[in-house]
Chains A and B, each alone.
Chain A
Amino acid sequence: MPAVTETIDTVQSLTEGTYKYGFETDIEMEFAPKGLNEDIVRFISKKKNEPQWLLDWRLKAYAGWLKMEEPLWAAVKYPPIDYQDAFYYAAPKAGPKSLDEVDPELLKTYAKLGIPLKEQAILAGVEGAGESPADSGRMPIAVDAVFDSVSVATSYKERLGKEGIIFCSISEAVQNHPELVRQYLGTVVPQGDNFYAALNSAVFTDGSFVYIPKGVRCPMELSTYFRINAKSTGQFERTLIIADEGSTVSYLEGCTAPMRDENQLHAAVVELVALDDATIKYSTVQNWYPGDAEGRGGIYNFVTKRAQCRGKRSKVSWTQVETGSAITWKYPSCVLLGDDSVGEFYSVAITNNRQQADTGTKMIHVGKRTSSTIVSKGISAGRGQNTYRGLVRVAPTASNARNFTQCDSLLIGDQCGAHTVPYIENRCMTAKTEHEATTSRIAEDQLFYCRQRGMTQEDAVGLIVNGFCREVLKELPMEFAVEAQKLLQISLEGSVG
């Protein structure tokens, strides 16, 4: 992962208090005309050389979207978005035909974002340089790099292909595996699911596609790295992951954007399908540009993520560390259809300065003996507003279902807010649900104790906050966890007086 290779040194250079990924890449881009209408939808579909059924599917979504209203129930405030004042397609000109042809500017960009060098070599198509994990002593990570509206490169495709694993951009999957895409697309998040999902269904431009065949344990972490670069551009990615019977996959995503004083919209849809005995672990470190201290600029991160545990004993685990974005609106969810299926949601969300987050999950229990675990840690600092919003619904069919929810909020400073809004709906007598929530601040005596042992106030806060988030961070793949811990500390800079 991009940031995975961050060494302590580079991170220390970050402690200047600036958003590290805020640079802009100067590269020749091709844009669709500004604004949104049916022609733009057709333009995108044509650019992608899509079959008629997919264009029809997009147009249907678009027609539905026109009739929908922007959701207002989340505890976030922002001026009305002018959906006509954005580009819905922006791609580097002359996209590469093969990995060798990746634009050097893009390579530089990814180098700066910290994608491991060997993977860069892979990105640029230098065979062998990173294929052998023994070289670097670490597990390789396959990367799909999405730059504004398009995937610019995907690494380790061939290696994964040997196991029958499909890992590519969704545009490519539409061309090469149309039957799989058609079978699953929109079956977890229907086109008309919500306002942003409908918008995404109409104009999604790229994203990742993963298929793990029966019985295959994916030999490496798969990841997608999302980068918004162009001005006035929205990013609408669509990710679809299918874990066939008995398969296992761990998938990571990361995201960054340049510092700008405009707000940019990121409205993704992620669909996960787990069949019998399959396991999907999906980890996110979300570090979109959060805006400046006064709340100027930053990404609006309005995302629909949902998993269906269709199979018996299937399992989906969402882990997210949300440190970026001006506004986060995101509820990675699990629909537990298969008997004995398991859903997990582990979340850390930080809001500092003027950031706002309304995030949580939905656990829908349908199958027998389904179980779910929710652990949410919210941290508010500066003038940040942080809301956990979650639904646990147990259908009458979900006998002996279990849910455990733990939501903790930490407040740093007296100008911020922390809110907890759980919905628990139980229609099954033999089900058991438990919910606990706490809100507190860092205790003076904890800070004093650390400082008496020689730590600075800021280090002490970092230590205590990381302790507060530990239950979530330990769910991340190890290298991601190290990165996440540092991000937490950086995100809180300037929050302690």
Chain B
Amino acid sequence: MLKIEGLTAEVDGKPILNGIDLEVPAGGIHAIMGPNGSGKSTLSYVLAGREGYEITGGSVTFDGIDLLALEPEERAASGLFLAFQYPVELPGVGNALFLRTALNAIRRHRGEPELDAMQFLKVARQRMQALSMPEDMLRRGVNVGFSGGEKKRNEVLQMALLQPRLAILDETDSGLDIDALKIVAEGVNALRAPDFSALVITHYQRLLDYIVPDRVHVLMGGRIVQSGGPELAQQLEASGYASVQAAA
């Protein structure tokens, strides 16, 4: 489904990604772990198409389509969803309006009918209950005044509504207490399906207790230096990144 080959990228002339090779098959849940500054967030932004990252080499295909040639909204419409590490605040923009606009943009792209306000509310309420989100979060400005946990839950809510085919979770676990972590994990697990893949980016192994990955990759210095099964995460937790560094 997602195929990354020899991807290199720079920020302000400084190389951050130094040749990433990674393939996530349909239905696969892969984790990317790595210390701070290893290029984890850069990878997620490059995949989602944020400006300010210069791709200097390599390729990324999503279902065989050249992902890097698409605008961010085209990537979203074709099923790529990025759960932001730091969800952005949009003052004055009601969360409900935002979610409905996004959902309808993507439904339009899929050739599905748009939802009117009433239909949308019905769907949104269902999803929110599942995530134990209070309903007033729909009325508030997008992420404005949300606690860290609320922001992350709002990301998962968006993911549940937009039903992506590839979800990239960029340190979604950071700043979450254990209950919130479980809720987020349940949200992701609920989407599990043969044609749903996820790339779970995290610093700690904790999240992976709840979202169990098929494969774990270690990202260091802008490269994947080691790959393995879920046990690799445990190993990292026990002996730290330094051990990988020594081995690499």
What residues of chain A have their CB less than 8 Å away from a CB belonging to chain B?
443-446, 448-457, 459, 463-464, 466-471
Contacts and interface: CB of A to CB of B under 8 A. Distances in A.
A90 B89 CA distance: 52
Contacts, number: 80
Contacts of B90: 446, 449-450, 463-464, 467
A466 B72 CA distance: 22
Contacts of B9: none
Given A448-B50, A467-B141, A454 B102 contact: yes
B92 A471 contact: yes
B105 A467 contact: no
B245 interface: no
A468 B142 CA distance: 12
A459 B105 contact: yes
Nearest to B82: A452
Interface string B97-141: 110011001100100000000000000000000000000000001
12 contacts: A448-B72, A448-B88, A450-B102, A451-B49, A451-B73, A452-B49, A452-B84, A456-B105, A457-B71, A457-B73, A463-B101, A467-B90
A223 B77 CA distance: 43
B242 to A, nearest CB: 33
Given A452-B82, A456-B105, 10 more contacts: A444-B51, A449-B87, A452-B73, A453-B98, A454-B76, A454-B105, A456-B73, A457-B71, A467-B92, A468-B92
A376 B234 CA distance: 56
Nearest to B105: A454
Main secondary structure of the interface of B (DSSP, over half): mixed
A454 B164 CA distance: 11
* Nearest 8 pairs of A and B residues by beta carbon: A467-B92, A467-B93, A470-B92, A453-B102, A451-B72, A454-B76, A449-B88, A454-B105
Contacts of A444: 51-52
Nearest to B168: A452
Interface string B69-80: 001110111000
Q: Which of A454, A455, A459, A470 has the most CB of B within 10 A?
A: A454
Contacts of A449: 84, 87-88, 90
A453 B106 CA distance: 8
A459 B103 CA distance: 13
Contacts of A451: 49, 71-73, 76
Nearest to A471: B92
Q: Which of A455, A456, A457 has the most CB of B within 10 A?
A: A455
Interface string B41-66: 00000001111100000000000000
Contacts of B109: 454
B92 A452 contact: no
A443 B142 CA distance: 14
B202 interface: no
A455 B101 contact: yes
A66 B109 CA distance: 63
Nearest to B144: A467
A275 B167 CA distance: 61
Contacts of A443: 88
Contact of A464 (B49, B50, B72, B93): B93
A469 B162 CA distance: 27
Interface of B: 48-52, 71-73, 75-77, 81-82, 84, 87-94, 97-98, 101-102, 105-106, 109, 141-142, 158, 162
Main secondary structure of the interface of A (DSSP, over half): helix
Contact of A453 (B52, B141, B162): B162
Q: Which of B73, B82, B91, B98 has the most CB of A within 10 A?
A: B73
A107 to B, nearest CB: 33
Contacts of A450: 90, 98, 102
Nearest to A442: B90
A449 B86 CA distance: 10
Contacts of B93: 463-464, 466-467, 470
Contacts of A467: 90-94, 141-142
A339 to B, nearest CB: 34
A458 to B, nearest CB: 10
B73 A466 contact: no
Given A448-B51, A448-B72, A453 B105 contact: yes
Contacts of B82: 452
Given A451-B73, A452-B82, A453-B162, A463 B91 contact: no
A370 B87 CA distance: 42
A467 B90 CA distance: 7
Given A444-B51, A450-B102, A463-B101, A455 B92 contact: no
A109 to B, nearest CB: 33
A215 B12 CA distance: 68
A451 B88 CA distance: 12
Given A463-B98, A466-B93, A470-B92, A455 B48 contact: no
B123 to A, nearest CB: 16
Contact of B92 (A453, A457, A469): A469
Contact of B91 (A448, A456, A457, A468): A468
B162 A466 contact: no
Contacts of A454: 73, 76-77, 102, 105-106, 109, 162
B158 A453 contact: yes
B78 to A, nearest CB: 10
A449 B76 CA distance: 11
Nearest to B99: A453
B72 to A, nearest CB: 4
Nearest to A449: B88
Contacts of A463: 90, 93, 97-98, 101
Contacts of B102: 450, 453-455
Contacts of B158: 453
A455 B105 CA distance: 6
A451 B45 CA distance: 12
A448 B88 CA distance: 9
A447 to B, nearest CB: 9
A466 B76 contact: no
B232 to A, nearest CB: 29
Contacts of B49: 451-452
